[in-house]
Amino acid sequence: MNELHLIEERRLSQQERLDSRKSADERNEWGQFATPPALALDILSLAERLWSGNGQVRFLDPALGTGSFYSALLKVFGSDRIAASHGIELDQPFAEMATSLWHETGLSVTNADFTTQCPPRHAKYNLLISNPPYVRHHHMTAAYKDALKLKVFERVGIRTSGLAGLYASFLLLCDSWLEPGALSIWLIPSEFMDVNYGEAVRDYLTSRVELLRIHRFFPSDVQFSDALVSSAVVVFRKNAAKTDAVVQMSFGGPLLDPKDSADVPVRTLRESKKWSGFPNRRSRMGSSHAGVRLGDLFYIKRGLATGSNNFFILEIDEAERAGIPKEFQRPILPGPRHLQVEIIERDLDGYPLILPRLVLIDCSLPEDEIRHRHPSFWEYLQKGKTTGVHETYLASKRRPWYSQEKRQPAPFVCTYMGRVRNGKKPFRIIWNKSNATAANVYLLMYPKPALAAALTQTPELYSVVFGHLQSIESDTFVDEGRVYGGGLHKMEPKELAQVPLQGLADLLDSDSYKGQMALLFDANSANQIRCI
């Protein structure tokens, strides 16, 4: 055991040396984020608890690195229980170091891209532990992604998305390397639990194998000091999926002593497109109106994208000095960090009474006409062309390039990204009484026809609806949105549409607003939205 301790000390030293030879950007492209030793030990300890019988271990790690999991395997299981062990590593210096460290203990190392390797016909593996490379899709060529998608489909019959990270292909391709009943544990980004491109992994886990457990770490508890990624440990056996099975879903705290845990039926996971709400998902409405969600009452759209905010969004005084005519200026809200109020009042011209006072350049006239009628404005546009603004992706798709997509002012806007800090909610909903539009740092909430009619008939309903929007709890937002490492929460339009309105049932039943709110609901069913 003392000898193993010395090898592990050398491994950690060499890991640090090898990591330092690549820049942070290079390691990001390779998806190389070493597993912390303590976490590796926890994962192998869990594997030992789940190990069935007294059979010998045949171990595989398809993304070996310097052998963090293999080191933990020797400590937890002991060499006497290991019949065979194999690691595959693409990065040659890492593969050579792993060979140097572990060859005498019986580990065989292959220096290759795992996704190009053929699985063994016989002598497959019964224990797989891996932290696969977190290579994002934009770091892979189209040809490589197409080859991966074809290989995954040929081996497991599941179609993957071109937006999925490399870890998804690793997990799915490993299926053919495992013997029946094999135990498999993966340390992967938790994003697969919520995003559309994680559907292939979710399908595999609920329909092809016996899913045992998923542990999701606190978003603020980043497992890799050099990667802002929220992590999950996924545990399954290569057995046929059981329709009546339950899965232990845990969240927060150490893997072996989670803060929260609950058994969730596999059937429930199959029917859910978002898994990160388990085990914290709760029934929040508690009434016959439990189905009412923001998407029932609002059209939700992303704010407009200019392609170059520094050029197209100016303070009013700057726009005046640049000679941009008023007719080509549209009021626009400042970003959330500059917005200190929750209710935006307006002046007589419809501009928001807040600082900074910003305008958006938006013009559909041809350049020749602008040059003739508004020479100062034309000169400003030429400055943009000298810096390549007109060649940016979004501007180059517009005709003319200085026109903007149409996003009308919305009475309510929601920030689309934020953190939970000092008791503050990750998302803010703001009442916009002005004629200002908003950029894509906000989600725009437009009342659907029935709600719009009720608000027009009874304007004081605005404050009532806003009060209920403000009362949405942080956990409600978090359940429907997605989260990234470091505790950064993000909300897409379709996700915001799924957020339930907690106090709406009381509003519907109140004597004060029954007449107006009845416009929203069918007389035969208080839970049926007319405007959908």
Q: Which two tokens stand for residue 322?
A: 């640049």
Average pLDDT over the chain reads 87
pLDDT tens profile 41-52: 999 999 999 997
Domain count across the chain: 2
Distance CA 258, CA 56 (A): 29
> Residue 56 is part of a domain; what is its CATH number?
3.40.50.150
337 part of a folded domain: no
Asked if residue 285 belongs to a domain, the reply is no
256/298 same-domain check: no
Same domain, 77 and 161: yes
Task: Say what the pLDDT of residue 34 is.
Answer: 83
In a domain, 366, yes or no: no
Question: What's the chain's length in residues?
Answer: 532
276-334 pLDDT, tens per residue?
A: 888 865 433 333 344 688 998 999 999 999 999 999 999 999 999 999 999 999 999 99
Residues 6+ apart with CB under 8 A from 302: 416, 440, 443, 444, 493
3-class DSSP assignment, residue 286: coil
Residue 499 lies in a domain: yes
Concatenate the DSSP letters of all residues of 33-80 into one string. Answer: -PPPHHHHHHHHHHHHHH--TTPPEEEEETT-TTTHHHHHHHHHH-GG
Considering the domain architecture, whether residues 199 and 82 belong to the same structural domain is answered as yes
Q: Is residue 312 part of a domain?
A: no
Residues 108 and 181 in one domain: yes
Neighbours of 300 (CB within 10 A): 22
Where would I find the beta strands (DSSP E) of 57-201?
57-61, 82-89, 107-111, 125-130, 178-189
Q: What pLDDT, on the 0 to 100 scale, is given for residue 51?
A: 92
- Higher pLDDT: 508 or 57? It is 57
Tokens of 387: 């810096």
Q: Give me the pLDDT at residue 477, please.
A: 82
Stretch among 127-131, 384-388, 504-508 having the lowest mean pLDDT:
504-508
15 & 65 share domain? yes
Q: Within a domain: residue 464?
A: yes
What span, in angstroms and rounded, lies between the C-alpha atoms of 134 and 488? Answer: 18
In a domain, 284, yes or no: no
pLDDT tens for 247-264 read 999 988 899 999 889 999
Which of these ranges, 140-154, 216-230, 331-345, has the smallest mean pLDDT? 216-230
Q: How are beta strands 57-61 and 125-130 bridged, if at all?
A: parallel
pLDDT mean over 376-403: 95
Residue 210: name the closest of 241, 248, 247 by CA: 241
| pLDDT > 80? residue 449 | yes
Model confidence at 138, pLDDT cuts 50, 70, 90, reads: confident
Domain that holds residue 189: 2-271
